[in-house]
Amino acid sequence: MEFSKDKFLQIIENIKECYFEVDLKGNFTYFNNSLCELTGYSREELFGLNYKNVADEENQKKVFKGFNKVYKTGEPLTDFEYQFKKKNEEKLIGETSVYLKYDSKGNKIGFYGLFRDVTKRRKEEERFKEELEQLVNLKTKELRESEEKYSNLFHHSNDAIFLHDIEGNIVEVNQRALEQFGYTRSELLKLKLFELHPISELEASKKAFEEIYKKGVIKFEISFKRKNGKIFLAEVSSSLFYMGGKQVIQGNIRDITVRVLTEKMLKESEIKYRSMIDHLDLGFYQLNWDGMLLNHNPRFCEILGYNPSENLKSRDVHDFWQRPEERRIYLKKLEEIGFVKNYLVHTKKKNGEKIVIQLNSHIFNGNKKKPRIIQGLISDITEKFELEQKLKESEERYRNLIESVPFSIALINQQGKIIYCNPAIEKLLGYKREELIGNEFKNLPALHPKYTPIMLKRFQKVIKGEVLPPLEIELYKKDGSLIWIRYQSTLLKLGDVVLLQTVINDITEQKKADLLIEEEILKLKELDQIRKDLISRVSHELKTPLVSVCGAAELLLDLYIHQFKDDTKELIEMIEKGGKRLKYLVDNLVDITRIEYKKFKLEKNKYDVNQLIRDCMKEMMYIIKKRELNFELDLLEDLFLEIDKVRIEQVILNLLSNAIKNTPPNGKIFVKSLRKDKHVEISIRDTGIGLIKEEMDKLFTRFGKIERYGNGLEYVDIQGTGLGLYISKEIIDMHEGNIRVESEGRGKGSTFIVKLPI
């Protein structure tokens, strides 16, 4: 029904004429936009306004008398005129049609009708009346001044008037004719009347002359041509009379271009309206009270299984009802309130197939004296109806389910009252269901007072459609003990009713466990902090003496090596190597500490990465030759990037060192750089021991050292802390790049790839 009502309200709102409804006291109860536009009042101002507010005393009496007559006789009043004031006090003359309005029981409840602004027309008519009065006055003076009187009427007419003889020679014209055709008086008097028609109308003009001779008076439509060549359609009233003993024809010519255009637009509007009805997705119909179809659209036929082009007019709709006697119940309801909305009818199609349709209809053009017509829309809702039936069955299954589930469920209406709770809630809280149902949840003794504001705020949000995470609160059991519960609430629609479904789980034991876990986590955090502080303190404390040890060993070897015996020299070299290894470990620990405390900073500058790689290779060349490895370099030209030179050098040296340590004698190491989109990739590939998946997963983790032993793996250098690759990854991440490793498995070598943005 909503669709149908909206459609026809839309038609009323879009007509140019003003539609209104008033109660028996003359207060406006409904109107369309046209009335607001005409009167200058807004909808809010006009609604409830009395007719006395827009009419003077004389017109108030006139309106009361007219409407009172309609009330007493029940007969509509048409072409009823009165004067009223617009909001800006401008006076208008309106022509209205008034009908008595009844309720469903036949009681008189008000009036309705259409209102048209005829001010302009009435002014023209008044002017015409004045002219007519002048004509009458002239007629009364005709004995004295007949020629002067006729001339005055002739020249002041709103229509173009031509006087011509029976040969078509124009003998006189009025001022309006000069304005309408664009000629001077002397130019027109030289023409014959047929010269004012386009060539296509000459035959019609000839026939008009013949008709005048036969009938003396004729009225017809024909096209004329102005001096500028523009064609217009006119309505001509011609009459034959005698003037001075000669036959003369007077032709009154009225331009009807606007009228014809208006009629054409109205016809097009009717065609569009019919087209709209024919293209509706819903079935449209009109029928009389007895059930005979008067009109329908193609969709109506389709729904009932007929060909869309088939004409079902005059068919009895009782044939479509599965139980025709039920139509009496439908008509009774329709008669009571004047419309039905979403009315379900079990009907049948042409082939006998049973379907369910939804009916929205209202009484159209119905009153006590005119036949009542039922107009409305239908839609096939068979599938929806069957789904609703299944939904009802599903709801019953849902009830059985929640009655048996082990967790507590309650349903709360939009006013906050508990309307249902399952048996599990009795076991949880110790209250009987009868003690809970019917009470507002905020007033329950089970609810801890400190949670009441939170629960009320949450309730309001969920009712508005917000989806909230579970809430953990404390509840009192009937015996006074406190329990922890997890509370989850969601909206649930049962039929047309929206409810709040709450699911409650007892988490008391879990809460106790969580508290223990939190305590343990806190202890672990404290231990972790102690570890960080210890590493930081020890690494910084070790760094100072190590610099002295390493520096002293290097100085002895550089300046006094020739003074030492071989065994002393070997001991100093061991001190130097051990010091360097220990310094490397301390440096890594310092870096780890900086990373953990987020104090690891970069100092970026534009630098040639290729040159950096070559410098690293030179530094490692001694070890490469010592381990008898082959080396290949394939680098781009002029590869300048914004980097922290020291840190990227640290990464490259670490990757080269790993490749050297894990590659057997006569093995190969390949270093390559290439551009990919907006990045540069640096790859270091070796033909060494290779990696398995578990090792690759562990590789970039802190202390993720991999130790491999066995026959054939004697060449592998297992020394290291497992921090190098972890720090390398952090350095590359801070450069907004990434580092990864690829390997096909044990004995198939490895490739480390560093990706840096250009």
User: Mean per-residue pLDDT for 81-99?
Assistant: 89
DSSP class of 664: -
The confidence score (pLDDT) of residue 751 equals 93
Distances, alpha carbon 354 to alpha carbons 2, 299, 350, 358, 715, in Å: 25, 18, 10, 14, 87
603 pLDDT tier (thresholds 50, 70, 90): confident
User: Mean per-residue pLDDT for 255-273?
Assistant: 81
**Mean pLDDT over all residues of the chain?**
82
Fold topology of 602-757: Heat Shock Protein 90 (3.30.565)
Domains 2-117 and 392-503 share a fold: yes
User: Mean per-residue pLDDT for 635-664?
Assistant: 86
- Per domain, the residue ranges of the chain are 2-117, 157-257, 280-380, 392-503, 512-595, 602-757
Among 219-233, 361-375, 634-648, 730-744, the range scoring the smallest mean pLDDT is 361-375
324 pLDDT tier (thresholds 50, 70, 90): confident
User: Mean per-residue pLDDT for 302-310?
Assistant: 89
Does 557 score more than 90 pLDDT?
no
What homologous superfamily does CATH list for 280-380?
Answer: PAS domain (3.30.450.20)
CB 731 within 8 A of CB 595: no
The fraction of the chain above a pLDDT of 70, given in percent, is 82
* CB within 8 Å of 411: residues ≥ 6 apart: 418, 419, 420, 421, 492, 499, 500, 501, 502
Question: Which residue would you say has higher pLDDT here, 235 or 599?
Answer: 235
What CA–CA distance (Å, rounded) separates 339 from 335?
A: 8
Question: Which residue would you say has higher pLDDT here, 451 or 598?
Answer: 451
Fold topology of 157-257: Beta-Lactamase (3.30.450)
Query: Top-level CATH class of 392-503?
Result: alpha beta
359-369: per-residue pLDDT in tens?
Answer: 999 887 655 55
The confidence score (pLDDT) of residue 530 equals 56
3-state secondary structure 20-54: EEEECCCEEEEECHHHHHHHCCCHHHHCCCEHHHH
The confidence score (pLDDT) of residue 1 equals 39
CATH architecture assignment, domain 2-117: 2-Layer Sandwich (3.30)
Please write down the long-range contacts of 298-302, taking CB distance under 8 Å and 24 or more positions apart. 300/378
740-757: per-residue pLDDT in tens?
Answer: 999 988 888 999 999 999
The confidence score (pLDDT) of residue 686 equals 92
Does 55 score more than 50 pLDDT?
yes
Does 392 score more than 90 pLDDT?
no
2 pLDDT tier (thresholds 50, 70, 90): very low
Residue type at 482? L
CB 634 within 8 A of CB 671: yes
Residue 54: name the closest of 33, 29, 85 by CA. Answer: 85
Does 279 score more than 90 pLDDT?
no
User: Mean per-residue pLDDT for 92-106?
Assistant: 89
Write down the H helix ranges in 248-360.
Answer: 257-278, 298-303, 327-337
Question: Model-level pTM greater than 0.75?
Answer: no
139 pLDDT tier (thresholds 50, 70, 90): low
Does 586 score more than 80 pLDDT?
no
CATH architecture assignment, domain 512-595: Orthogonal Bundle (1.10)
Biggest distance spanned by C-alpha atoms of the chain: 165
